[in-house]
Amino acid sequence: MRTLKTDDAFLRRITQEMLKGKDVFGAVLRVESGDGALSFRGSAGNMAAQDRYFTASVTKLYVTAIMLILRQEGKLSFDDKLTNFFHDSMINGLHTLNGIDYTGEITIAHLMSNTSGIPDYFYYDKSKGNPVTNLLQGKDEPWPLERAVASARNLKPKFRPGQKGKVHYSDTNFQLLGGIIERVTGRSIGEAFRDYIVEPLQLQDTYAFQDPEDTTPKELYYGTQRLRAPRYLASITAEGGLVSTSSDTMAFLKAFFNGTLFPRELVDELKQEWNMIYFPGQFFFGLGLEKLWTPRLLSPLKPIGEVLGFWGQSGAFAFHNPQHDLYFTGTVNQLSGRGHSAAYKAIVQIIKSV
């Protein structure tokens, strides 16, 4: 079924080429086909294939899975309002635009699709300087849900909730989804990941990072500088605080798309309304799901097809290409956004080769 071009030597070369990305010092790549005919795991630079790493925003795909599971269990609806889950004192005025408080109109679907209009609490709070710069300078602080909401409340919303054609990537949305999961399940978000995903799938190296003394995950880079921010990372579980490996992430990715965790046809619902977004690169955002934007010029004679899944700010990735039945997981471990193109190029090259 697979051509000889897609052999281990070819995939090892592709993995090595990921180091050509700007400030990419290490990379992990795992590729599998749904039928088992293709299975590869490789690494380059300062990373080993079995290394644990921060999945960053790939964590959000796990949140989407839990939301689908909870809905299947009848515990919530995506039309449920944000106000159903939080006390007024916490969220009143969270989304006030031109003097009108739209907080009561925000639904779970708005949060999952980044169409709530709520600004990102972290990257746009300049009151204490640039937050990323603060982390690089060792000012490692926790950002729990309450602090994130308080920060977002002081920022101007981007648009009305659900305004047609509008999308804004905001980690605040997924912080709130994590809070909803905690309130619906009676578990912490870390426990919810464990009970709904890690244990059912028998994942061996996936967990919510919660111990600032834990040095197991591979250290992150921002440009050429190593970044250690354990207090921050331990506080943002729902938006990007999972630790995993390419193998465990592969098991989850397959389960997400093949019907193991929830009915397979629900994935089509996540794709009903795509909005193009530009952070950290051009891609489309659906309902808790991303689709890579692939110009036809990259493969004029052989359409790439859909590439569905999630990016992480660290260059972590988990994507499925249904047209060629391929799955991709791994990381380039670079927070600056400069390494995403290296991972993207690897994925496209492999799809074109089969």
- pLDDT tens profile 288-342: 999 998 887 777 778 899 999 999 999 999 999 999 999 999 999 999 888 899 9
pLDDT at residue 4, as a whole number = 43
- Report the 10 Å Cβ neighbour count for 33: 18
Residue written as token pair 């990921």: 18
Nearest to 121 by CA among 70, 178, 71, 165: 178
The proportion of the chain whose per-residue pLDDT surpasses 90, expressed as a percent, equals 84
- In the chain, residues under CATH classification 3.40.710.10 are 8-58+205-353, 60-198
Say which amino acid occupies 34: G
CATH number of 60-198: 3.40.710.10
pTM (predicted TM-score): 0.95
CATH superfamily of 8-58+205-353: DD-peptidase/beta-lactamase superfamily (3.40.710.10)
Asked whether 293 and 282 are in contact (CB, 8 A), the reply is: yes
Asked whether 14 and 350 are in contact (CB, 8 A), the reply is: yes
Give SS3 for 188. Answer: coil
Asked whether 320 and 307 are in contact (CB, 8 A), the reply is: yes
H helix or E strand, kind and range, residue 253: helix 246-258
pLDDT at residue 296, as a whole number = 76
Spatial separation of the C-alpha atoms in residues 209 and 109, rounded to whole Å = 26
Q: Which residues of the chain have pLDDT under 50?
A: 1-2, 4
Backbone angles phi, psi at 316, to 5 degrees: -70, 150
Peptide bond into 230 cis (omega under 30): no
Nearest to 62 by CA among 233, 274, 310: 310
Give the model confidence (pLDDT) of 53-90 as tens digits: 999 999 999 999 999 999 999 999 999 999 999 999 99
